[in-house]
Amino acid sequence: MSHYEFKCTECSKSHIADPRTLRCESCSGTLSVTYTNWKRQVSSLVGGGTLDMPIPLGSLSEYLSLGEGNTPVVSMPKISSMFETEIYGKLEFMNPTGSFKDRGTAMMISALKSKGVSEIVEDSSGNAGASVSAYATRAGMKAHIFAPLSAPQTKLNQIKVYGSILHAVDGSRDETTEAAEKFVKHKSIVYASHNLSPFFIEGTKTFGYEIFNDFDREIPGNIVVPVGNGSLYLGIWKALEELKERRLIKTLPKLHCIQAENINPIASNNTWNKSKIKSTVAGGIAVGSPPRKSEVQSVLHQSGGTANSVTEASIVEWQIKLAKHEGLFCEPTSAAAFAGLENLINSKHINKNERVLIPITGSGLKDVFPE
């Protein structure tokens, strides 16, 4: 008997953890992993640690790593002093393919591989596609990656360089998902959607476990996350809840959710409708219909975090500020979190002298350079 199962996030129905199952059979809700036996835990995924984390694999030997995770946390002296707030960045662009996605992908591909899957389909704005391409190659799997033709050329090239088949879609991020779903149906290939796969969030959980070590148990009170589909946002929360359940931490930080004004289905407070969609430089969060939207909203509510929308101009401005003030070059999607931080401080949702952690989610090298 497996030590974990899938559980519907809407109706709580349990399902056998089959990699082909991405939605609840009863209500079509999204699924998450639930552990029925916590004995199957591994420590070595989380560096520097005595800390175990439950994972949906039979054993650690099934885990395929390209060296993801255990990213450094750096102080941000100039921006901290600008805001009179203690700000830290966790450098997720220092993952093997240049984004935090590698955490989720490593776990998802390992789980699929362990269940004998040899060919997969994925859709992505670019980062997840490159990540899945690399790990699928590592696992000896064939991968079809759907990405918008309008994605930065470097991301499209990166998807191809690892040997996967790129399906460039002349349409929006949401139309790319639709094209992938159609292909999956037609070809009967496993849909390894990083947005829907419950395994993916089990991988991004490592971020939450690591910060427990990074800050010597004193996790900052605010974590500001750029949110498209919310796979990092939800992974961090799941980790923190596990740590609290095990009485390793007492209080949970506020998890703030940042979106681009042009595409803000969560931050618009339910005034959003798909027809309002505009393009954004923050391609990683250009998601008009996030399938885990209600999960993100639930975490926002539980954690006391704030959802905030940022302008295109502020995103680019912060991308440049991070490079020229702190020596950190990230993609626009990551910079959006700092634009959001500025708003949250101005609106007093984050007060002076509070501690703030921001994941710097992706590398600037993969996107269009700022002018």
Binding site for a second copy (CB under 8 A): 47-48, 65-67, 70-74, 91, 94-98, 133-138, 154, 157-158, 161-163, 320, 323-329, 363-366, 369-370
CA dihedral 292→295→297→298, nearest 10 degrees, is 180
Residue 214 or 261: the one with the smaller Cβ distance to a second copy is 214
> Shortest distance, CB of residue 168 to a second copy, whole angstroms?
15
Strand locations in 189-326 (E): 190-191, 222-226, 254-260, 307-310
> Which tokens belong to 204?
């991004």
CA-to-CA distance for 221 and 247, rounded, in angstroms?
17
Residue 6 or 199: the one with the smaller Cβ distance to a second copy is 199
> Shortest distance, CB of residue 139 to a second copy, whole angstroms?
8
Contact 101, 207 (CB under 8 A): no
Task: Classify the C-alpha dihedral 54-231-252-352 as positive or negative.
Answer: positive
CA-to-CA distance for 41 and 113, rounded, in angstroms?
19
Residue 291 or 364: the one with the smaller Cβ distance to a second copy is 364
> Shortest distance, CB of residue 36 to a second copy, whole angstroms?
32
Residue 156 or 287: the one with the smaller Cβ distance to a second copy is 156
Residue 48 or 116: the one with the smaller Cβ distance to a second copy is 48
| Backbone φ and ψ of 144, nearest 5° | -105, 120
Residue 158 or 176: the one with the smaller Cβ distance to a second copy is 158
Other Cβ atoms within 10 Å of 160 Cβ, number: 15
> Shortest distance, CB of residue 163 to a second copy, whole angstroms?
4
> Which tokens belong to 361?
């989610």
> Shortest distance, CB of residue 52 to a second copy, whole angstroms?
18
Contact 188, 194 (CB under 8 A): no
> Shortest distance, CB of residue 272 to a second copy, whole angstroms?
33
